[in-house]
Structure 1
Amino acid sequence: MSAEAATAVPTPAPITPATAPATRLLLFGLLGFSAGLPYYMFSTVLSARLTTHGVDLVIIGFFGWVQLLPTFKFAWAPLLDRYAVPGFGRFFGKRLGWIMVAQLGIFASMVAMAFTSGDASLPVTALFAVLLAFWTTTLEVAADAWRIELAPTPAEQGPLVAANLWGYRSAMVAAGSGALIVADHANWTWAYLAIAAGAFLPLPILAAMRPAPDRIGSRSGALATGLGAAAALLGGSLIITAVVGYLVLGLADAAGIGAKTDATRAVLVVCLLPFVAMAVALPRIVRLPETAFARRSTIIGPYVDIFWRFGYRALPILGFVTFYRMGDVLTLALSKPLQIAAGYDLTTMGIADGAVALPSSMAGVALGAWLAVRLRLFWALAIGAVGSALGNWIFVWLWYAPPAGHVIYIATALDQFAHGLEGAVFVVYLSMLVNPRYPAAQYAFLSGFAFLLPRLLAGAGGSIQRQIGWDGFFTLSGTLSLAAVVFLPFIARAAPRTAPRTTP
């Protein structure tokens, strides 16, 4: 490969009429809805489902580790940059092709969770929860890469991020609220089937979109080939997940891990390992020449590029992104068990997650996107961190207040508004860190790394709560989120260096 080929910027996804400025907002709102609808079903709703079935809180905490899968999306994100799905990709474009496969995976996984909703076998519950998380994450990787290709500046990113998060959070709220209410009046099977039907609805809309300018074949042929490829991918992912899960559970059983296990210390040690590894590798990475294999490699090159471009500033950047969403993730992990323990029924919780959370979250996203465009990102990020802390601390009040509708509604409103604002600012910030040469891989790495420590701690949340109580847990989670501001002075002026162009 020539030096020019190695450094050339990949051609972005074609801008078809469906992705023109007039309709981009609607498109990314739809994509956000597609990704947000299943998220609560393997996180918050699943924790409520397990709680109603009498599963121990520590085991429910372990189920929070299903949310770790998106953290490791960098492992398969380069494949989405490099390969197109047969049929779908050649007719609709690479990004949309993967989005369509992911939606089929989401639908199939959620139907499987519906018909195993009795949780008679927790390993089976975990299997389909992991598959749902995998396909939801795959959809996000493809959609994020497409957004970054189409909007390379903060001014362009702001509106798209707002539209995407409006769709995402409205779908999360609809799924959480709808599933809880349906489960309270029918059962968990119907709850998951109802949300699975909603998750399937965007697929025909995307399949009817205009083809890519360089399309290959007819629409019917593309759909038939794409469905065949999707079936193979879904079957392969099921087999791989089942085998890996069997091995992991066997190792956990051999190690004596169970409901009485205190995983907190082990989790904290694991969390330190990525930072130690990066600190050790950085001195060598920053000296790598452009021709070095590590920078040219399809697999590791996109990730090495992050550390090469930002140098030693990469460490405080990654420290900042690690703490910034801490409160959001920890709230998501145990807010529903807290509300059930405080005496709230599923219908009241569902109303709070619907009529209250949706407008609050959308208002927060709108304000966050506006702040990201109008203010220096330094100040917008600081406001988001303070809001996130308040959104967690409000649950301490909920725990001590007598159960009442206005209590859970106020707590939900502040929580959703604060985390919506924080999330919008954060997405814009991460998007600006990405090298346009590697949009899928680098955004997957940065957004995944941001949730590594929070989701590890969320998995140990049951153990932590058992030691310090509900009030201590939510006080700690809000304080950890606020700690992100400590890193802001160190990253405020972090600017990437660029490699000089070489000639063949």
Structure 2
Amino acid sequence: MPSSPDPASRNWLDAISVYRHPRVVGMLFLGFSAGLPLLLVGGTFTAWLRDLGVELAAIGFLSWVGMAHSIKIFWAPVVDRLALPGLTRLFGRRRSWMLAAQAVIGLSLAGIAMTDPRETLWLVAVFAILAAFGSATQDIAIDAYRIEAVSRDRQGAMAASYVFGYRIALLAAGAGALHIASSGGWSLAYGAMAALMAVGVVTTLIVREPEVEVDASTRQLEQRVVDYLDRTAHRGWRRDLTAWFIGAVICPFADFVQRFGLSALAILLFIGTFRIADIFMGVMANPFYLDIGFSKAQIANVAAAFGLAMTLTGAAIGGLLVARFGIMRILIFSAFLAPITNLTFSWLATLGPELYGLVIAIMADNISGGIAISVFIAYLSSLTNTAYTATQYALFSSIMTLPGQFLAGFTGVLVERIDWMWFFVSSALIGIPAIMLAFVLARIANPDHIARPGRQVAPSQA
């Protein structure tokens, strides 16, 4: 992999130019493709079912299809190592899986469009499950492509571009689908969304497959697998299955521990705590707005629409700051931002339903959140070995959300025992461990000073 320029040697014009890179531009459209299916098997899906009179119990059970994104670590090794017959030879390891997943999503959405859940709810459920697993698989492949396609100094811009496209897709699959459904019916809405998957297909066909080589330490690790298999009594399919399992599942974890040693535990703890303050607070955001007296229209206009614009702004700023100053300094900066901006909601709780207060709180929270998303995706990308990109990144992204989602389940109980102001103070305090771990990692495992395994060839080509 070519070495990245020292961030200190860049000026602001050099940093801004990162957004003109062809693969950074392409990531905008791949981010759109990744974000489009999420609501179509989530919020928009449940709205459609309820609108057609499907029972709430059935809708609740069908919401489980979204869990595919939380368990994708279990088949990420397959995406990392299994060649798809015909497709991999034509398009390469990453693009073949992206195309296959996009085809599954598009066909599943088209199937939903042509099926009436009032008559064959089980078939709608099958299509929704296929779309959800296709979406999670596409995420695995796109994450791996994003990491392998460019050098580390462009990872922040790739993340920002991805987030921008992803959020635009959420608008299309949410508000866009609802508007189409209100005028032309749900079948037309889902048919239109299925057609929009062509954005991802066309982009995948245009971009070039990243060319990576395995570094010497990774070859030594995998040689141990070969040596073990030479000594084992297993033969035939048992030997092949053992070889695949060790190479696809065991080696990615062994590689991570081998590269970082005892620091690996600190890194995993940091990944699990970095976004915990945001996730913990976010679950109660809308109930908070309603409780203190904001109208639904104010929440939609400021928290949703204006908030989206601020998140995209923050993501773009984050990508620019990473390109200018490197990952670690901005990671520490954003670790401070999340708890501090949570305190603006404590201030809003004492202020009451003043619109200017909501605007200030949303601006602070969403800009800081956008910066954090960009730098954290870049940080997670820097930890991967390009020999095991999909598996390692899927592990990191799962750890990133699970602790926050678990603790968020207790937020309602906490709010009932303390008032809103102290709830947001507690959500700020819960972010302190991430700040402490960020300083520790800056000393022992700074990604700006550690070369990522694997070498990329011709990263400038689109």
TM-score of the aligned structures, taking structure 1 as reference length: 0.64
**1:444 has 2:394 as partner:** yes
Matched, 1:327 2:325: no
Superposed displacement of residue 93, structure 1: 2.8
Shift of 1:30: 0.6
1:176–1:350 contact (8 Å) kept in structure 2: no
- 1:79-98 matches, within 5 Å, as 79-98=78-97
Matches within 5 A, 1:354-365: 355-365=305-315
SS of 1:359 mapped into structure 2 = helix
Task: State the AA in 1 paired with 2:224.
Answer: T
- The answer to whether the 8 A contact 1:385-1:485 is kept is yes
More deviation, 291-300/309-318: 291-300
Q: Secondary structure at the match of 2:256?
A: helix
2: distance between equivalents of 1:127 and 1:344? 40
Q: Does residue 388 of structure 1 match 2:338?
A: yes
1:453 Cα offset (Å): 1.0
Mapped to 2, the partners of 1:400 and 1:115 lie a distance apart of: 51
1:59-106 alpha-carbon deviations (Å, 9 max, x no partner)? 99x999877643432211111122244454443333222223333444
- Report the residue type matching 1:205 in the other structure: V
Aligned residue in 2 for 1:206: 203
Q: What corresponds to 1:35 in structure 2? A: 34
Alignment of 1:97-246 (within 5 A): 97-107=96-106, 133-152=132-151, 154-173=152-171, 175=173, 178=176, 193=190, 196-197=193-194, 199-206=196-203, 209=206
Letter matched to residue 301 of structure 1: C
Matches of 1:315 and 1:473 in 2, distance apart?
A: 30
Provide the aligned length of Structure 1 versus Structure 2. 401
Equivalent position SS for 1:291: helix
Find the counterpart in structure 2 of residue 494 from structure 1.
444
- The offset of 1:360, in angstroms, is 1.3
1:291 equivalent among 212, 219, 224: 224
Question: Deviations 1:456-483 (Å, cap 9, x if unpaired)?
Answer: 2334544555555655544433332343
Matching residue within 441, 465, 479 for 2:429: 479
SS for the counterpart of 2:248 is coil
Query: Distance between the aligned counterparts of 1:127 and 1:64, measured in 2?
Result: 13
Aligned-pair CA distance for 1:341: 4.8
Alpha carbons of 1:179 and 1:497: their partners in 2 closer, same or farther (altered >3 Å)?
closer
- Deviation per CA, 1:129-168, whole angstroms, max 9, x where unpaired? 776554333222111211222223x223233222222222
Tell me the amino acid that sits aligned with residue 170 of structure 2.
M
User: What is residue 72 of structure 1 aligned with on the other side?
Assistant: 71
Return the letter of the residue paired with 1:166: F
Counterpart position of 2:328: 378
Look up the match of 1:234: none
Distance 1:472 1:330, change over 3 A: same
Match of 2:224, SS? coil
Q: 1:357 Cα deviation (Å)?
A: 2.6
Counterpart contact for 2:41–2:128, Cα < 8 Å: yes
- Does 2:301 match 1:368? no
Distance 2:123 2:428 in 1: 33
Q: Measure how far apart 1:393 and its partner are.
A: 3.7
- Greater mean alpha carbon deviation, residues 452-461 or residues 432-441: 452-461
> Are the equivalent residues in 2 in contact too, given 1:115–1:189 (CA < 8 A)?
no
Aligned residue runs from structure 1 range 427-442, under 5 A: 427-442=377-392
Quote the Cα distance in structure 2 between the aligned partners of 1:194 and 1:498.
42
**Residues 206-261 of structure 1: CA deviation (Å, up to 9, x unaligned):** 376378799xxxxxxxxxxxxxxxxxxxxxxxxxxxxxxxxxxxxxxxxxxxxxxx
Call closer, same or farther: CA 1:176–1:68 in 2, change over 3 Å: same
What SS class does the counterpart of residue 155 from structure 2 fall into? helix
Alpha-carbon distance change, 108 to 22 in structure 1, aligned in 2, over 3 angstroms? same
Query: SS in structure 1 opposite 2:317?
Result: helix
1:369 Cα deviation (Å)? Answer: 1.7
Structure 1 residue 452, shift from structure 2 partner? 1.9
- Cα deviation, 1:432-459, whole Å, max 9, x if unaligned, reads 1111221111111122222221122334
Q: Is the contact between residue 314 and residue 368 of structure 2 (CA under 8 Å) also seen in structure 1?
A: yes
What amino acid is aligned across from residue 155 of structure 1 in structure 2? Answer: D
TM-score (norm 2): 0.69
C-alpha distance in 2 between matches for 1:438 and 1:472: 43
Q: Answer yes or no: is 1:413 the counterpart of 2:363.
A: yes
Asked whether the 8 Å contact 2:177–2:193 carries over to 1, the reply is no
SS in structure 2 opposite 1:437? coil
> Alignment RMSD, CA only?
4.7
Residues 102, 201 of structure 2: 8 Å contact kept: no
Please list every run of 5 or more consecutive structure 2 residues that lacks an aligned counterpart in the other structure: 2-19, 212-220, 229-242, 454-462
Identity of aligned residues (%): 32
Q: SS where residue 144 of structure 1 aligns?
A: helix
Kept in 2, the 8 Å contact 1:65–1:459? The answer is no
Shift of 1:426: 0.6
Q: Does 1:455 align with 2:405?
A: yes
Distance 2:117 2:305 in 1: 28
Q: Deviations over 1:266-325 (max 9, x none)?
A: xxxxxxxxxxxxxxxxxxxxxx99726699532221112111211111111111111111
- 1:312 aligns with one of 262, 287, 290: 262
Structure 2 CA distance for aligned equivalents of residues 363 and 212 of structure 1? 29
SS in 1 for 2:430: helix
